[in-house]
A and B are shown apart, each in its own frame.
Chain A
Amino acid sequence: MRRIVRIASWLYAIAVYGFIFLPVVVLVLFSLQATSFPIPPFTGPSLRWYDAVLSDVRLTSALVNSLLVASISSLAAVTLGFLSAWGFARFVLPGSGLLRGLITLPLTVSYLIIGMGLLVLFNWAGVPKSLLAAGIGHVVINLPLCFAIIYSQMGDHQINIERAARDLGAPEWKVLLLITVPVMAPAIFAGFFLSMTFSWDEFVISFLLTRFDTTLPVEIWNLLRSGLNPKTNAVGSLVFAVSIVLVVLFELTLLRRRKA
């Protein structure tokens, strides 16, 4: 009886992990296909489709666009998130609880709604569809995240450290730059990398807010419209690899903080 339970639990575990990871494994495996269709039998391994991706100007420029949008929008989101977290943590504001709730609210709103809202707003304000518009959209979705991460780490034990700096003659901007930012660095980096990850494979907002120059997920979607081929698998694998790197960086910065 006990053996049956053991075997069943193993089978269950394999089924769950298979369910989660099999699509990714298939994607990566057939990106190494040597022939023209990403269907069994496997004919590789071959890097010809990666070669094709990297020599495709539209894909590589989309990749550069994606990196630009991700890094700049994350930088903006983390800066704004840090400043608002600092404000909420250090000053007594009227309606502080309500305002804090409002700033994190976008986390619960679907990207589709945010994207549509921005589309209408930009249309009205005369902001053309562009990478900038998509970047602003990414700031909207990532700012609450950065705020939540940084605010949660901004404890009272840093208050005296900031006071000590002020006491020793530091003006407020130096307190922020020389003391608060370095002390909060792990949370700031964690917020930055998580924003990068989300911005990097965000589709809906980029799709709605860009036109000619666009980001990699939108370009992949364009590619998919003409049917499956190993090139889509190859570019998908690249996106996945970058996401993994970002998530690992995020985990590492959080782990480093816990050890310290």
Chain B
Amino acid sequence: MTAPLVDISSVSHRFGQHTVLKDVSLQIEPGSYTILLGPSGSGKTTLLSILGGFVTPSDGKVFIRGEDCTSVPPAKRPTTTVFQDYALFPHMSVGSNVGFGLRMQGVDGATRAAKAREALALVGLASAFDKKPHQLSGGQRQRVALARALVIEPAVLLLDEPLGALDLKLRRQMQDELKAIQKRVGTAFIHVTHDQEEAMALADHCVVMNDGRIEDEGPPERVYARPATRFSATFMGESTILAGTVTAATERTSTVATPVGSVSLPSALPVGSAVALAIRPEHLVFGEARGGVRLGTAEVSDVVFQGSFKRVLAVSTEDPSIQFIAKLPATATVQPGDTVAISCDTDQIILLTD
């Protein structure tokens, strides 16, 4: 067991009367790619600013490599940040931008230029050394910002919605490159985003944040398959949520009454407790499922063709406030207005007790 590279210990932060972080604790392992995922206002950017030293938290401590960095200024801590707007120095060439951090460390001109060229080559921009930032495209500026932050070999690289300003295609491409670069340099990356696809594609460790708290954290596969909270089940991918009450329980199973019928689950729960069941779109079956549980019938309200699959929305006949979100094969022949039986494999039902 190695010591965590970054240890955020019970950090809270207030802006005036408004509390943006509520007792957040988080540990970052060396060499990991961590994603802070959450909607705007969830506190993820504030947490990143606290790591970067731009904000001193109201309470709690931040340790980096075991040292208390809580109120160490950005210039003196082993982190660098890639800003959302890149924040390149407009009056300097790309080479001088990348070499700036080394210049501040007093590295001589020749070494600086050599290292800057190396860093630019790493991000695939070796030819841009003498250009000015305004001559580059958005994606290229992004890479320069990345090279500039990496060249001084930080312990942790912080990325603040780095792909937010790029168009979708470029974003997916940069996403792959970011991951590849991270693997190559082995630096721990902490990356803030509200894009759950980006989170799933990049993260070794995914931290879902909402309203100043960490809702869930873990490998993205786990967070997706077994989200810890209702928020995490709907923010990291979509889910159909069924509210229910436990009506009967044995040692191994419980029966949960939901508006669309009762569901038997393989876990022991106290009778009378309120729970929520989440089902991922790809696990909903239209028609009868063998060995599955019936979830009543529903009227299809919307079918959106998405290329490799169809996203189908259906309103429950039993309780019109319940909307089923399903992902069906592209060859499925459902039409809006159809009434269909809905079912689901019991094993795929996610039990949420919050």
Could you tell me which residues of chain A, from 151 to 166, have a CB within 8 Å of some CB in chain B? 157, 160-161, 163-166
Interface string of A62-95 (1 = CB under 8 A from B): 0000000000000000000000000000000000
Q: How far is the CA of A260 from the CA of B53 in the complex (A)?
A: 32
- On whether A164 and B87 interact (CB within 8 A), knowing A169-B75, A170-B75, A171-B75, the answer reads yes
Stretch from B19-27, B63-71, B100-108, B245-253 contacting the other chain: B100-108
Interface string of B131-160 (1 = CB under 8 A from A): 000100000000000001100100000000
Give chain A's interface residue range (CB within 8 Å of chain B). Answer: 10 to 19
Q: Are B85 and A167 in contact (CB under 8 A)?
A: no
Q: Are B104 and A169 in contact (CB under 8 A)?
A: yes
A-B contact pairs, 6 of them (CB 8 A): A161-B88, A167-B80, A168-B75, A168-B104, A168-B149, A183-B90
Q: Confirm or deny: B73 has a beta carbon within 8 angstroms of a beta carbon on chain A.
A: yes
Chain A residues touching B, majority SS: helix
Q: Are A160 and B83 in contact (CB under 8 A)?
A: yes
Q: Are B89 and A167 in contact (CB under 8 A)?
A: no
Which residue of A166, A170, A171, A183 contacts B91 across the interface (Cβ within 8 Å)? A183
Q: Are B101 and A169 in contact (CB under 8 A)?
A: yes
Q: Which residue of A lies closest to B100 (CB)?
A: A168
Q: Confirm or deny: B54 has a beta carbon within 8 angstroms of a beta carbon on chain A.
A: yes
In the assembled complex, how far is the CB of residue B133 from the closest CB belonging to chain A, in whole angstroms? 10
Which chain B residues lie closer than 8 Å to A166 at the CB level? 73-75
In the assembled complex, how far is the CB of residue A152 from the closest CB belonging to chain B, in whole angstroms? 19
Given contacts A163-B87, A169-B75, A169-B152, 14 further A-B contacts (CB under 8 A): A160-B87, A161-B87, A163-B81, A163-B83, A165-B89, A165-B100, A167-B53, A167-B149, A168-B80, A168-B100, A168-B101, A169-B101, A170-B75, A183-B91
Which chain B residues lie closer than 8 Å to A211 at the CB level? none
Which chain B residues lie closer than 8 Å to A58 at the CB level? none
- On whether A179 and B104 interact (CB within 8 A), knowing A163-B83, A164-B83, the answer reads no
Q: Confirm or deny: B52 has a beta carbon within 8 angstroms of a beta carbon on chain A.
A: yes
Q: Confirm or deny: A182 has a beta carbon within 8 angstroms of a beta carbon on chain B.
A: yes
Could you tell me which residues of chain B, from 223 to 263, have a CB within 8 Å of some CB in chain A? none
Which chain B residues lie closer than 8 Å to A164 at the CB level? 81, 83, 87-89, 148
Q: How far is the CA of A163 from the CA of B75 in the complex (A)?
A: 9
Which chain B residues lie closer than 8 Å to A179 at the CB level? 89
Q: How far is the CA of A183 from the CA of B87 in the complex (A)?
A: 12
Which chain B residues lie closer than 8 Å to A171 at the CB level? 75
In the assembled complex, how far is the CB of residue A199 from the closest CB belonging to chain B, in whole angstroms? 28
Which chain A residues lie closer than 8 Å to B152 at the CB level? 168-169
Which chain B residues lie closer than 8 Å to A185 at the CB level? 91
- On whether A163 and B54 interact (CB within 8 A), knowing A179-B89, A182-B91, A183-B91, the answer reads yes
Which chain B residues lie closer than 8 Å to A260 at the CB level? 134
Q: How far is the CA of A117 from the CA of B56 in the complex (A)?
A: 46
In the assembled complex, how far is the CB of residue B179 from the closest CB belonging to chain A, in whole angstroms? 23
Q: Which residue of B lies closest to A174 (CB)?
A: B104
Interface string of A184-216 (1 = CB under 8 A from B): 010000000000000000000000000000000
Closest 6 CB pairs of A and B: A168-B101, A169-B104, A160-B87, A164-B87, A182-B91, A167-B74
In the assembled complex, how far is the CB of residue A172 from the closest CB belonging to chain B, in whole angstroms? 9
Q: How far is the CA of A182 from the CA of B89 in the complex (A)?
A: 10
Q: How far is the CA of A165 from the CA of B90 in the complex (A)?
A: 12
- On whether A167 and B75 interact (CB within 8 A), knowing A157-B85, A160-B83, A160-B85, the answer reads yes
In the assembled complex, how far is the CB of residue B76 from the closest CB belonging to chain A, in whole angstroms? 8
Q: Which residue of A lies closest to B81 (CB)?
A: A167
Q: How far is the CA of A168 from the CA of B157 in the complex (A)?
A: 12
Central interface residue in A157, A161, A171, A174, by most chain B CB within 10 Å? A161
Central interface residue in B52, B104, B149, by most chain A CB within 10 Å? B104
Which chain A residues lie closer than 8 Å to B90 at the CB level? 161, 183
Q: Are A170 and B104 in contact (CB under 8 A)?
A: yes
Which chain A residues lie closer than 8 Å to B75 at the CB level? 166-171
Which chain B residues lie closer than 8 Å to A168 at the CB level? 75, 80, 100-101, 104, 148-149, 152
Could you tell me which residues of chain B, from 314 to 338, have a CB within 8 Å of some CB in chain A? none
In the assembled complex, how far is the CB of residue B158 from the closest CB belonging to chain A, in whole angstroms? 9
Q: How far is the CA of A168 from the CA of B100 in the complex (A)?
A: 7
Q: Which residue of A lies closest to B152 (CB)?
A: A168
Which chain A residues lie closer than 8 Å to B81 at the CB level? 163-164, 167
In the assembled complex, how far is the CB of residue B77 from the closest CB belonging to chain A, in whole angstroms? 9
Q: How far is the CA of A164 from the CA of B100 in the complex (A)?
A: 10
Q: How far is the CA of A251 from the CA of B75 in the complex (A)?
A: 38
Q: Are A163 and B74 in contact (CB under 8 A)?
A: yes
Which chain A residues lie closer than 8 Å to B105 at the CB level? 169
Which chain A residues lie closer than 8 Å to B53 at the CB level? 167
Q: How far is the CA of A160 from the CA of B80 in the complex (A)?
A: 13
Q: Which residue of A lies closest to B148 (CB)?
A: A168
Central interface residue in A164, A165, A167, A179, by most chain B CB within 10 Å? A167
Could you tell me which residues of chain B, from 95 to 144, have a CB within 8 Å of some CB in chain A? 100-101, 104-105, 134
Q: Are B89 and A161 in contact (CB under 8 A)?
A: yes
Central interface residue in B52, B85, B91, B105, by most chain A CB within 10 Å? B91
Central interface residue in A160, A174, A179, A182, by most chain B CB within 10 Å? A160
Could you tell me which residues of chain A, from 134 to 161, have a CB within 8 Å of some CB in chain B? 157, 160-161
Q: How far is the CA of A157 from the CA of B149 in the complex (A)?
A: 19
Q: How far is the CA of A174 from the CA of B54 in the complex (A)?
A: 18
Q: How far is the CA of A260 from the CA of B74 in the complex (A)?
A: 30
Q: How far is the CA of A182 from the CA of B91 in the complex (A)?
A: 7
In the assembled complex, how far is the CB of residue B52 from the closest CB belonging to chain A, in whole angstroms? 6
